[in-house]
Structure 1
């Protein structure tokens, strides 16, 4: 007789989401702590002191935690978690991955502008393509046709700020070398930001 299928438990340490009760790896969640003034503070780097409260990295889960006052229940004390916390977390997630993109640029590992991106791709040096979220058209289709990993991230103004220009629509990051794992950090961060935005209650 066949044994019933049992799903394998997550490898490594897990945390429980205070909004859904679901267990998951810390990388799939966002940690929060209570600040000195009793306000809930997001800790994306998971380094702040204090007892952590964990929420799945999804907008709907965080909205529920705020609306149902689940942070106070988890902290076992009244804490302040305003409705603005959800938008703040989304902004911080974007800022975090943009900061990684900025580090790649300063290290000489990222270029902006379709011509420069196309040149890096043609030299087989590109490992990741980043395109402004609101972009469409022939340029995007050409980059998709390369088969390289492609992330949609922020808008043209946000990307442009990284490269000291008003706008940037297309960005390429060189293949990672011993100098740093930029591609992994940027792709994971972009997926985390996008996943948070897409998994909303609305």
Structure 2
């Protein structure tokens, strides 16, 4: 018999730093810049094209990912992590706050809601 999931459970992702699993909302999505570049970018809106890698929003997980050279394996040779390091050090919010207009926001398209 198939195990029923509790309501509210969504897709599970694995952190490339600590290798623990978490929900999409707990992790930051990273992507390679593309065009043959080795730069890794933070995908704040989680909408950029291409393969993504996931990382907990902690300096510890970032350090582990760099030490393990996980970026290059997860993102096909992308190793330049300066943008990711800058993002983590800036203390930027990891989840975009909804607009405070009082109106419901538009639902996201796609099946990963």
TM-score, normalised via structure 2 length = 0.67
Count of residue pairs the alignment pairs up? 98
Distance 1:47 1:60, change over 3 A: same
Give the alignment's Cα RMSD to 1 decimal: 3.0
Q: Which runs of 5+ in 1 are unaligned?
A: 1-7, 108-176, 182-202
Cα shift at 1:71 = 0.2
- What is the alpha-carbon distance in structure 1 between the residues aligned to residue 24 and residue 95 of structure 2? 17
1:77 counterpart = 2:77: yes
Query: Which one has more relative contact order, counting CA pairs under 8 Å at least 6 apart?
Result: 2
- What is the alpha-carbon distance in structure 1 between the residues aligned to residue 85 and residue 78 of structure 2? 19
- For residues 138-157 of structure 1, what are the structure 2 equivalents within 5 Å? none
Q: Which runs of 5+ in 2 are unaligned?
A: 106-113
What residue number does 1:29 align with?
27
What residue number does 1:50 align with?
50
Bigger share in helix: 1
**Higher Rg of the two aligned structures:** 1
TM-score, normalised via structure 1 length = 0.41
- What is the alpha-carbon distance in structure 1 between the residues aligned to residue 31 and residue 46 of structure 2? 9
Cα shift at 1:90 = 4.7
What residue number does 2:88 align with?
89
What residue number does 1:66 align with?
66
Render the CA deviation track for 1:53-101: whole Å, top value 9, x for unaligned: 011122211122124321012224252113x63232353733965xx48
